[in-house]
Amino acid sequence: MSLVIDSNLEYIQQVLNISSVKMETEYSDMTVEEILEAEAAQGNQQAIKLAQELLTNTNLIIELFDLADNVNKLLILNEMSEFDLREFLPRMEDKDLLQGLNFFTTDKLLKLLEELPKEELVNTVFQMFSQEEIVQMMPDDQLNKFLTSTDIDKNKILKHMQSIPSEYLIQVLEQVTGEPAEGDLNNIDLTKQIGNLHPLEFKDVLTSFQPTQKQQLVLSLAKEHNEWFQLFDADAYTAIINREKQKNEVVKAMSVVEPEHVEKMLQELPRDLLSIVITQIDTDQFAHVLIEEHPEILAQIILK
C-alpha cells in the first residue's frame, strides 16, 4: 500500500509553537512523526504529549489529516477491503445510509425490496400508497390469492361479505351453484347459504365477484387485520411501485426499513460506490473506527 495524505502541517506548527523559519529550514522534508520526535528530543512538552497520543486521540487525527474532507476519507477507504468497509456501516446515521440507496438502479432497488421481510416491504409500501390504493391496483390474481388464503378464517370472510349488496351475492351464488337463490334473500341469509357450500364452491364464490366487490371485500378484511397485507406477493408490490413511483420516492419511503436491512443492501454496491457512501459518515466516528480497527493504516499515513 502507498497511502499518501497531506498532513496539516500548519496545525502541527501552531500546536507545537514552531516558527515558520524552523518549519521551512529544518522540517520541510520531514514526516509528522519525525517532526514530533525532533521537537520531543528538544524538550517540547506538547510534542511529547502528541507523540504519545498520535494513534489514540481522535481530535488530533481529525485535525492532523483533515479527515473532515471527504476526499481524504475516500483515499483511506480505497485502501481497504470490502470486509473492512462494512465495519463502518453500523456507525453511520440512518439518513446517510438511506441516501446510499440512490446508487442502485431502479430495477436493483426493487429486487432488494422484494428480498426484505414482508412486514418491512409492506411498511415501505404504506409510505407511498393508501390501503385503498393498494387494493385498487392489485391484479385480480392477487385478490383471489388473498381471499382464498388459509390464513384468513372463513367466518371472518362471511362476516365482511355481509356488507356487499345482496344483488351481487345472489349473482355469484347462482353462478356457482347453477340454481336460483331461494329463501329469505337478505345478506345474512345469503352469506349463510354461501358458507354452507362445498369448499370448492365457496372458493369459486370468492373468486367470482366483480372487481369492485372483490376489492371491497379484500379492503374490509385487510383494514381489520393490517398484517394480511403481507399475503400479497412481493413482486406484485414492486410491480405497482415500478409503475407508479420514481426512484427518489422509493428511497424516501424506505426510511421505515430497519437500518440493519439497509446496511445489508448497501453491501451489494460495488466497492468504489460503497466507499463513496461511507465518506458521509460522521468524522468522529470515522476516526474512532480507524483508531480501533485500523491502526496500521493510520501508521502508514503518519510515516508518509
Q: Where are the domains of the chain?
A: 9-88+281-303, 96-264
Closest-CA residue to 283 (of 19, 70, 130, 39) = 70
Q: Tell me which of 52 and 116 has the higher pLDDT.
A: 116
Q: What percent of the chain has pLDDT over 90?
A: 66
pLDDT at residue 5, as a whole number:
56
pLDDT at residue 172, as a whole number:
93
Q: Give the CA angle between residues 232, 236, 237 to the nearest 5°.
A: 85
* 20 CB burial (10 A radius; 0-12, 13-18, 19+): exposed
Range with the poorest average pLDDT among 51-65, 174-188, 199-213, 225-239: 51-65
Q: Which residue has the cell 438502479?
A: 105
* 172 CB burial (10 A radius; 0-12, 13-18, 19+): buried
Q: Summarize the confidence of residues 237-255 as an average pLDDT.
A: 97
- Helix then strand count (H, E) for the chain reads 23, 0
Kindly tell me if the per-residue pLDDT of 184 is higher than 70.
Answer: yes
The structure's pTM equals 0.82
Spatial separation of the C-alpha atoms in residues 124 and 120, rounded to whole Å: 6
Q: Summarize the confidence of residues 188-201 as an average pLDDT.
A: 93
pLDDT at residue 100, as a whole number:
97
Kindly tell me if the per-residue pLDDT of 3 is higher than 60.
Answer: no
